[in-house]
Amino acid sequence: MSQEAFESARRRWEAELARSGPRLPRFETISGTDVPALGLPAGDPDGAYLDGLGFPGQFPYTRGIHPSLYRGRLWTMRQFAGFGTAADTNARYRYLLEHGQTGLSVAFDMPTLMGYDSDHPRALGEVGKCGVAVASLEDMETLFEGIPVGEVSTSMTINAPAAIVWAMYIANAEKQGVPAASLRGTIQNDILKEYIAQKEWVFPPEAHMRLVVDTIEWAARHLPLWHPVSISGYHIREAGSTAAQELAYTLYDGFAYVEAALARGLGVDEFAPRLSFFFNAHSDFFEEVAKYRAARRIWARRMKGRYGARDPRSMQLRFHAQTAGCSLTAQQPENNVARVALQALSAVLGGAQSLHTNSMDETLALPTEKAVTIALRTQQVLACETGVANTIDPLGGSWFVERETDRLEAEAEAIFIELDRRGGMVRAIEDGYPQREIGRASYDYARKLQRGEQVMVGVNRYADSPAAGDGIPLLRIEPRVETSQRERLAALRRRRDAAAARRALDRVRDGARGHDNLMGPILEAVRAYATLGEVVDAMREVFGTYREPSVF
């Protein structure tokens, strides 16, 4: 870069920083040469690159939503964890926090995810197996016992009964003396991707959409630091989608929530700054980096151009990433450590605000302490030893990365046109369109693996280990977990004020029949120690249930 172009870039960057507000180091000296501290690319004598892409922190945020990114603050290291009883998981959380984790992420068991109590017949054999069992406020109190929820950011991966579990978290904070307005964290609460990919719903789409908007509105009014929806492409990708499908369906789900909140009468800048996203960090390294960059750009342009956002925060796509569970192998499981490290690096170079790294044993069982520690240390090595946190968007300006970013944006826009033609995401889901498209993509990928066109090391090439999981100790959930959880729930029902719980559940039913925000009645019910299943059943009586159409 010529000195003249360099000085011009310096002046523009200084002016941008002055407008954006943060007082950050502008330039620094490296080996006796002035260079931009925030990732200014070299090799651009005409400045055309800078004029075209701009800088990190500038609309449309292709290069990142913050001018400083990790130079100002590292990403949140948030390991997804949950198993057995609330007491078991509480011990794991304390362990992780003691070992340097900077945020909590709650994995719930299947009965909780589906809105059933631990003693429901359909919960038999599943209690505490794939996450922690939480059936009441008492379980939530145990889960966070000794953990200052006013100081720790918590993410909860739950969707169909998200409003109820969130209410339990708020009520537990109240009992700790922490006001709701100071709570920080995320509730996933993305019901549309459940119909598309993960299949954990309770009610028909319209009823669930109402609940999602209720939580968005409640957060805007009472929990200004909380993210009430984490719009998730992770599970769409795990179901077998392509990167472009993950990008398109996830963002279009986000647009659907924005439009539903606007229809409720909320102002876009009132709620949009607290929407967040959750993407998969898959194995095609450069494609994944480009996917995150394209997501930011699409979101910014649509929020400003179509929905009239004026607050820059409404246009800034914030995202959590998790490494790809579907890429892990039971064969030669130690290889998963390398896979996870590279996938995590793509998320970091793509500008993630929060990151979970999978443990090497997750394809076989819930993670052991040793495995989850290695996964956490992977993030810490990236942050502290590799230097990737020192430069903003270091891959920006690469011909290949920019081409991939453009390609993914174009493919996503083509999918948006098709979804518009089909009447929006809810109608498309009811017709089975995204489900069919993901099914086709998943089948194509499986065929490529079968034919050896797609290599999976240790599975269809270099498969020299005789058995899956050799030498890996596994975490086992004992049958006592289900027994003790059922006993705990029975004791709660005997001990609580049954009349107060019945009255609160009646108010939930009445609220479901009306049009007012349901978070108030739900909070009242969980404070009275009504169980998760009881609150879901009260709403099910009004909303009914949903059966997916046959799409294959």
Count of Cβ atoms closer than 10 Å to residue 364 Cβ? 18
Model pLDDT, residue 423: 97
Given its phi and psi angles, is residue 22 left (phi above 0), alpha (psi -120 to 50 degrees) or beta?
Answer: beta
Q: What is the mean pLDDT of the segment spanning 348-375?
A: 94
Helix (H) or strand (E) holding 322: strand 319-323
Concatenated DSSP letters of 265-290: T--HHHHGGGEEEEEEE-S-HHHHHH
Sorted by where each starts, the structural domains of the chain and their CATH numbers stand as: 3-55 (no CATH), 70-389 (3.20.20.240)
Question: How far is residue 461's CA from residue 296's CA, in Å, rounded to a whole number?
Answer: 36
Residue pair 535/525 in contact (Cβ under 8 Å)? The answer is yes
From first CA to last CA, the distance across the chain in angstroms is: 56
What six digits make up the tokens of 6? 């360099």
Question: How far is residue 321's CA from residue 246's CA, in Å, rounded to a whole number?
Answer: 13
Q: Is pLDDT at 44 greater than 50 in this prediction? A: no
What six digits make up the tokens of 287? 């494609």
Q: Where are the beta strands (DSSP E) in 74-203?
A: 76-77, 80-81, 104-107, 154-157, 185-187
Q: What is the mean pLDDT of the segment spanning 405-433?
A: 96
pLDDT tens digits along 435-463: 999 999 999 999 999 999 999 999 999 99
Return all residues near 124 (Cβ < 8 A) that are at least 6 apart.
Answer: 482
**pLDDT tier at 469, thresholds 50, 70, 90:** low
Model pLDDT, residue 101: 86
Range with the lowest mean pLDDT among 15-19, 48-52, 130-134, 198-202? 48-52
318 phi, psi to nearest 5 deg: -100, 140
Place of tokens 């292709």: 62
Considering only CA atoms, which of 491, 483, 477 is closest in space to residue 531? 491
Count of Cβ atoms closer than 10 Å to residue 345 Cβ? 19
Q: Is pLDDT at 521 greater than 90 in this prediction? A: yes
Residue pair 85/485 in contact (Cβ under 8 Å)? The answer is yes
Residue 226 DSSP code: E
Query: Does 483 or 470 have the greater pLDDT score?
Result: 483
Cα three-residue angle 211-511-492, rounded to 5 degrees: 85
Cα three-residue angle 301-302-308, rounded to 5 degrees: 100
Count of Cβ atoms closer than 10 Å to residue 481 Cβ? 20
Q: Is the dihedral of CA 281, 282, 284, 288 positive or negative?
A: negative
The partner residues of 254 in beta bridges, in order of sequence, read none
pLDDT tens digits along 269-290: 999 999 999 999 999 999 999 9
Question: How far is residue 82's CA from residue 88's CA, in Å, rounded to a whole number?
Answer: 8
Concatenated DSSP letters of 162-189: HHHHHHHHHHHHHHTT--GGG--EEE--
Residue 537 DSSP code: H
- Reduced DSSP (H G I as helix, E B as strand, rest coil) percent helix, strand, coil of the chain, to 5: 55, 10, 40
Query: Does 54 or 462 have the greater pLDDT score?
Result: 462
Count of Cβ atoms closer than 10 Å to residue 18 Cβ? 9
Helix (H) or strand (E) holding 494: helix 480-495
Q: Is pLDDT at 39 greater than 80 in this prediction? A: no
Range with the lowest mean pLDDT among 10-24, 179-193, 267-281, 360-374? 10-24
pLDDT tens digits along 221-276: 999 999 999 999 999 999 999 999 999 999 999 999 999 999 999 999 999 999 99
229 phi, psi to nearest 5 deg: -140, 135
Alpha helices in 350-432 (DSSP H): 369-385, 399-421, 425-431
Helix (H) or strand (E) holding 521: helix 519-527
Model pLDDT, residue 487: 96
Place of tokens 């986000």: 254
Question: How far is residue 487's CA from residue 468's CA, in Å, rounded to a whole number?
Answer: 36
Question: How far is residue 188's CA from residue 276's CA, in Å, rounded to a whole number?
Answer: 9
Give whole-number Cα distances, 281 to 239, 246, 346, 360, 414, in Å: 14, 11, 7, 15, 23
pLDDT tens digits along 288-316: 999 999 999 999 999 999 999 999 999 99
**pLDDT tier at 467, thresholds 50, 70, 90:** low
Considering only CA atoms, which of 346, 340, 303, 312 is closest in space to residue 324? 340
Q: Is pLDDT at 24 greater than 80 in this prediction? A: no
Model pLDDT, residue 549: 79
Considering only CA atoms, which of 32, 40, 31 is closest in space to residue 13? 40
Residue 60, preceding bond cis, omega within 30 degrees?
A: yes
78 phi, psi to nearest 5 deg: -125, 90
Question: How far is residue 261's CA from residue 174's CA, in Å, rounded to a whole number?
Answer: 27
Q: Is pLDDT at 169 greater than 60 in this prediction? A: yes
Model pLDDT, residue 12: 60
**pLDDT tier at 4, thresholds 50, 70, 90:** low
Question: How far is residue 208's CA from residue 202's CA, in Å, rounded to a whole number?
Answer: 8
Range with the lowest mean pLDDT among 126-130, 341-345, 510-514? 126-130
Place of tokens 């002035």: 34
What length is written for the chain? 552
**pLDDT tier at 472, thresholds 50, 70, 90:** confident
**pLDDT tier at 51, thresholds 50, 70, 90:** very low
Give whole-number Cα distances, 91 to 103, 106, 158, 211, 259, in Å: 15, 13, 21, 32, 41
Report the relative pairing of strands 27-30 and 33-36 from DSSP bridges. antiparallel
